[in-house]
Structure 1
Amino acid sequence: MLWDALFDRVSEAAGAPADQCKLIFSMLVSFPLASIFVRLPASRPNLAHLFSLVVSTFFLWPFLGLGRGYLHLLISSAVTYVVVASVRSKHMPWIVFVLTMGHLTVIHIYRTLNSIPTSTIEISGSQMVLVMKLTTFAWNVHDGRQKIEDLDEGQKATRLTQLPGPLPFLGYCFFFPSVLVGPSFDYATYNALITKTIYDAPVPDADPTHTKRFKGRTPHGRRRVAYLHLVIGLAFLAIFAVLGARGAYSRILEPTWYTWTLSTRFGFVQFAGFVARTKYYAVWSLSEGACILTGIGFNGYDPKTGRTLWNRVRNINILSIETAESFKVLFDSWNCRTNVWLRDQVYKRLTPKGKKPGSVQSMATFVTSAFWHGVDPGYYLAFVTAGLLSSLGRQLRRYVRPYFLPLGSEGAAKPNSMPRWPFPNLAKRTYDVVGWVMVQINLNYVASAFLLLRADYCITAWSRMYWYSHIIIAVAIGFFQLGGRRWLRKGIPPRVPKSKVPLQVPEVTLSPPSPIAQEDASANATHPTEEDDSNDADLEWVRHDLQSKTKGGVPFDAGLIDDFLEGVETPRAGTPKPKDD
C-alpha cells in the first residue's frame, strides 16, 4: 500500500517495527474520528453502526494488513449471532463460550506453532477482545429470557429482552476505538451510547424540570478527560521506547546476569516489571481516551462533588496498580474490563445458585484467563502462581489484617488509601507498606513468566531469581495449614467483633453496570446531538475538574490544566462557542 513506505521510514526513525507504528497511528487517528462519531444524530443509529464498521474494516484490512484475520472476526461474530438467535436452551451461553474460545485457541496455536513473537501485530489481540464481547452478549440475551427476580442487579441492567438486528450487532462487535486492544463492554452500554440515553443519568442536587431540557446532551468534561488519557498514553509510550530494551526480562537469561550483585539482580527484576507495564499503560490509556471521546465512558456524576465521571469502560487504574497494598486491589485495577468479564461471565456463572463462590471458582477463573491469553506455558505458570498469591492474600486479610486495624474498626477502611501524615494508626500503615512491598516484588516476579512464555525460559528466570515468590508462597501456606490459621483466629483482638470475621476488603466497583436497562435504552425517542452545544445553555451546575480541591477550593495544580485545555471543552452557559470548534 501507499502508506507502507511512509511507515517504514517512521519505523527506522522510531526504532520500532512498522506494524507497531501503524497500530499506534490507528489509535491516535481514533481521536479525531471519535469527535465525528459523537456528533452522529441519535435519530440515525444505522449511520453510527456503519461508521464503526467501515473504520474498523479499514484499520484491520488494508491498513494493518490483517485481511485474513478480519474474516476470522466476521466468522466468530456471525456464528455467535446465529447460535444466540436459534438456540433457546439454558446452555446457549456456554455453547457460544466453547465456540468462541475454541476459535481463539486455534489462532493462539497457529501463532505458537509458527513462532510469531508477541510483539508482532496479528489478529489474536482483536479476537481476544471480540471473545469477551460475544460471550457477554450471549449471557445478556440469556438473562433477558429469564425471570427478572432470578437476576442480580448487574444482570438486570444489562439483560437484552429483544435481539438486535445484524447491523447493530456488528456495530457493537466492531466499535472502532476498541476493536484493536479493547476495552470490551456490554451491548446495553453500546446501545445507550448510540441512542444518547447514556447521558440521562440524574444530576446531583439539580432541579428535575431544568434537567429534562438537557437530556441526551454530552455532559461537560468529555474532551478534557479524553485528552488527558492521550497525554498519559503518549508519556508511557515514550518511557517504553527509551527503556524497553534496557528493562527486558530476557536480560535475566543472559550470561552477564551472574556478573551482577544480588542487590542489582533484585533491583533489575523490579525495574523490568515496571518497564513492561508501561507498554500496557500506553496502549490502554490511548484506547480508553478515544472511547471516552465518543461518549461511551460517561458514568454519571459524583454524588458529592457533582463532577462528571468518565470511567465506565476503564481498563486500567495506574495509580492503584503502583500503590496496591493487596493482591485484590492489584488484580481489580489491572485490565479491569477483562476482570469484569471473568467475574460476571465466568466466576459468577460457575457458582451454583444460592451458594457462595470458593477457591474452585477462583482457580477456574485464573485458568480461564490463562487459556484466553494463549497456549504458551508461561501464561499458565504465571496465572496459577497469581491464583496462589490471590488465595494467600484472602487468608492474610482474614486472619492477619484484623490485628492491625485501628481501635473500633470493623474492616470498613478504604482498601488502598495512600499513606498520609500523621498516620491515624501506625500499625495499620506499617501493615499497608509491607503489603505494598510484597505485592510489587511478587508481581514483578510473576510477570517474567507472562512475558518470557517458553517453559524453559520461565524456569531458568525463576531459578536465577532463587524462586523467591514460590518460597514465600510455600512458607505462608505451610504456616496456615500447620495450625497457624487456628492460632491466629483465637488471638484476633476483641476490638474487632468476631461476628465480622472473616474481614474482607470492600468490593472494588470496577465498572458500574449500565444505568439504562435495555427496554429503556431501545426507546425511539430522539435526542439532540452534541452539535447543539453551541447553545448558550449547558449543564452549568456541573463543574468537572480533574484535580482534587484543597480546603480553599483551589486546584492543586493552580489551574494549569484548565488553562492548557482552554477552549477544547464543551462550552459553559454564557460562553460563546469558538469559531473553529
Structure 2
Amino acid sequence: MDGNTNIAFKTTGCSWLSPVSDLVGVPLDQVNFIACQVFGLAAAFWFRLYLNPKHASIEIRHAVAALFGASIIMFCFGWYAVHIFILVLACYGIMLKASLHNVHRYTMIASVGYLTLCQVCRVFIFNYGILSTDFSGPLMIITQKITTLAFQMHDGMCRKKEDLMEDQRRLAVHSKPSLLEYLSYNINFLSVLVGPFSNYKDYVEFIEGQDAHHKLRRVKASSPQQNGWDRVPEPSPVRPVIKKLIVCVGSLLWFFIITKAFPITYNVDPHFISEASFFSRLAYAFISIQAARPKFYFAWTLADAVHNAAGFGISGVDNRGEVSWDLVSNVHIWQIETATSFKSFIDNWNIQTGLWLKSVCYDRAPYYRTPLTFVLSAIWHGLYPGYYFTFITAIPITFAARAVRRTFRHYFLSSRQLKFCYDVVTWAATQLTICYTVMPFLLLAVEPTMQYYRSMYFHVHIISILAMILLPSKPRGSKTESPARHSNNNVKED
C-alpha cells in the first residue's frame, strides 16, 4: 500500500472487525460504520425500554446518549475523533462567552471554518474519496446542530416574537443548555455518525419523554376530528422500524446487484463517449444515477430507524389517522422517484439538510436567498470541485424551472389527460436534469466533470439560461412575495 492508503486505514479507528472486512471484501471503515449503526439500533430499543423517562432521570438519559455517541465515534475514527470534541467544546465556549446578539454569527464562522479546515486535510492530505466514512461526516452533522441551536438561541433570547416566523417561534430556545445537554444533543449515539439533523427543542422533548404528547396534542388542537390523541399510550415504533429496515435490506441488495454493474465513471470513459450516441449516453447517465441512489437510501433510512427505535421521530398524525414517524426522516423515496419538478426532488432528498439550509440561510438572507443557500450547501459538503459544479449549476436550473412552471403549467390543468401528459413530460425532464446536475457531485474532479459536460454539449446549462432570459420570472400582475410565504418549504420554487 502507498502512503495515502496507510494513512486512510489508520483513520478507520478500531481494527477488531478486520477479519469481517477481509471476508466480505468491504473496506474496514464501512464495516465499522454498519456495525456501529446495528449497535445503535439495538441500543435504541434498550434506551427506550430500560431508560424510559418514567424509570430513568433526564440527566441519566442525556449522559448515556452522549457516552454511547462518544464511544461510537472513537471506535470508528480513533484519535481523529478529537476533532469532533474540539468543535463541540469550542462552540460551547462561544455560546457561554459571546454576546447573544452575535452568538449565531460567531458560531457559524467557527463551525463552518473548522469544518472547512478539516475538509482541506481530507482532500489534500488523506486523499479520501466520497464513499469513505471519515471523521468529516460527523463534523458536517454537528455543524448543522451547533449553528441551528445558536440561531434558535438568538431567536429566543434576542428577537421579538412578532419578528419571528411561525417555525422560528416554535423552535426558539429561551435559555442556554448545560454542558451535558449540549454534548447529548450534538454527539448522541442516534445521530452522531450519519445524522440526520434534528432541532434542539425536539431532541430535549424526546429526552424528557414529552415529544409524543406534544406532537399529538398539536394535531388535536388543529384538527377537531383527532380528539383524544394526547391521551393514548405512547405509540410503539416497532412497525415503522420494521418497514424501514425492509427498505434498508432492499437498498443494500440493489446496491450489490445493480449499482456495481453501472459505474458512474463509465459516463466519462473516452471509448464510450466516442462510440455511443448522445441518446445512449443520456440513457446510461440516467441508469447509473438511479443505481447510485440506494446507498444513500440505505444510510439515511437506517439512521431514521435507529431514531424511531428509541422512540424519537413522531411528527403527528397523517391523513389516514395513523401516527407518522417522519420527524427526522432524511429521504422520501417514492416522492424522489416520481418527482415532476426540480423543487420536489430537492424537498425530498436529504430533507433535514434542506431544513437546516432554510433555517440558517434562506429564511434569514435579505437578498439573493437561493444563490446564497446553494453556495452554503456547497461549502458545507466539502472542497471537491464537483460539489461546486453541482450547486452552481442548480442555481440557473432552479430559476428556469420556476419560469417554465409559471408560464406553461396552467395550460395543462383543464383535463385529466392533459395533466397526465404534463406530469410524464415533467417527470422525464426532472430526472434527466437531476442526472446532469448531480453527475459532478459523484465525479468530484474538474477534468471528468468538464469531460462529461462537453459530451452532453452543456445542453441543460444552455436551456436553463435561455429559459431565464426568454420566459417571465413571475406571472403578470403578481406581487413580490414575503419570506413568510415560504415558511414551510425548503429552497423555494413556486
TM-score range, shorter chain: 0.7 to 0.9
Structure 1 unaligned blocks of 5 or more: 352-357, 407-423, 491-497, 512-581
1:366 paired to 2:374: yes
TM superposition shift of 1:260:
3.1
Structure 1 residue 443: Cα displacement: 0.5
SS at match of 2:195: coil
State the 1:370 CA deviation. Answer: 0.3
Q: Which ranges in structure 2 are unaligned for 5 or more consecutive residues?
A: 1-9
1:339-368 CA distances to partner (integer Å, 9 max, x unpaired)?
Answer: 0000011111113xxxxxx6x111010000
Letter in 2 for 1:49: H
**Farther off after superposition, 391-400 or 238-247:** 238-247
Residues 30 and 177 in structure 1, CA contact (< 8 A), matched pair in contact too: yes
Superposition pairs of residues 121-270 of structure 1, within 5 angstroms: 121-145=133-157, 146-200=159-213, 201-202=216-217, 205=225, 211-212=230-231, 214=232, 217-220=233-236, 222-257=237-272, 258-270=274-286
The CA distance in 2 between the partners of 1:44 and 1:365, in whole Å, is: 40
Give the corresponding residue for 1:438: 429
- Counterparts of residues 101-500 of structure 1 (less than 5 Å): 101-114=112-125, 115-145=127-157, 146-200=159-213, 201-202=216-217, 205=225, 211-212=230-231, 214=232, 217-220=233-236, 222-257=237-272, 258-302=274-318, 304-351=319-366, 360-406=368-414, 424-480=415-471, 485=472
- Residue 268 of structure 1 aligns with an amino acid whose one-letter code is Y
TM value normalised by structure 1: 0.75
1:35 matches 2:45: yes
Amino acid aligned to 1:234 = V
The number of residue pairs the alignment matches comes to 464
Amino acid in the other structure paired with 1:79: A
Deviation at 1:207, TM superposition (A): 5.8
Letter in 2 for 1:401: R
SS at match of 1:275: helix
Instruction: Tell me the residue number matched to 2:4.
Output: none
Kept after mapping to 1: 8 A contact 2:332/2:348: yes
1:512-571 per-position Cα deviation (integer Å, ceiling 9, x unaligned): xxxxxxxxxxxxxxxxxxxxxxxxxxxxxxxxxxxxxxxxxxxxxxxxxxxxxxxxxxxx
Paired letter, 2:301? S
Give the corresponding residue for 1:74.
Answer: 85
Are the structure 2 counterparts of residues 149 and 477 from structure 1 closer, same or farther at C-alpha, using a change threshold of 3 Å?
closer
Does the C-alpha gap of structure 1 residues 123 and 489 become closer, same or farther in structure 2, counting only changes over 3 Å? closer
* 1:179 to partner: Cα distance: 0.7
1:51 to 31, 54, 64: 64
1:473 positional shift: 1.6
SS of corresponding position for 1:245: helix
Q: TM-score, normalised by structure 2?
A: 0.88
Write out per-residue CA displacement over residues 303-362 of structure 1, whole angstroms, 9 at most, x where no aligned residue.
x432101111111111111111111111111100000000011111113xxxxxx6x111
Cα distance in 2 between the residues matched to 1:379 and 1:165: 36
What CA distance in whole angstroms lies between the structure 2 residues aligned with 1:368 and 1:259? Answer: 39
Deviations, residues 198-218 of structure 1 (Å, cap 9, x unaligned): 01122564665x954x5xx42
- Distance between the aligned counterparts of 1:206 and 1:157, measured in 2? 21
Match of 1:99 among 110, 113, 133: 110
1:289 to partner: Cα distance:
0.9
RMSD: 2.5
State the shift of 1:281 in Å: 0.7
The answer to which structure, 1 or 2, has the higher relative contact order (CA under 8 A, 6+ apart) is 1
Given the superposition, is the C-alpha separation of residues 167 and 4 from structure 1 closer, same or farther in structure 2, using an over 3 Å criterion?
closer
SS of match in other structure, 1:400? helix
Question: What is the CA–CA distance in structure 2 between the aligned matches of 1:378 and 1:402, rounded to whole Å?
Answer: 36
Aligned counterparts of 1:444 and 1:79: Cα–Cα separation in 2: 39
Structure number, greater radius of gyration: 1
Query: Which structure's residues are more often helix, by fraction?
Result: 2
Which piece of structure 1 moves more, 333-342 or 243-252?
A: 243-252
Alignment check: 8 A CA contact 1:332 1:508 kept: no
Listed one character per residue, the Cα deviations across residues 230-278 of structure 1 (whole Å, up to 9, x for unaligned) are 1101211221122333222211232331333443322110011111211
SS of equivalent residue, structure 2 residue 334: helix
Distance verdict in 2 for CA 1:47–1:396, change over 3 Å:
same
Shift of 1:282: 0.8
**Separation (CA, whole Å) in 2 of partners of 1:438 and 1:211:** 44
The sequence identity of aligned pairs, in percent, is 28
Work out whether residues 333 and 510 of structure 1, in 8 Å CA contact, stay in contact via their aligned partners in 2. no
Q: In 2, distance between residues paired with 1:11 and 1:468? A: 43
Whole-angstrom CA distance in 1 between matches of 2:39 and 2:180: 24
Q: Could you say what secondary structure the match of 2:390 adopts?
A: helix
Return the alpha-carbon distance in structure 2 between the equivalents of residues 300 and 92 of structure 1: 32
Distance 2:281 2:327 in 1: 40
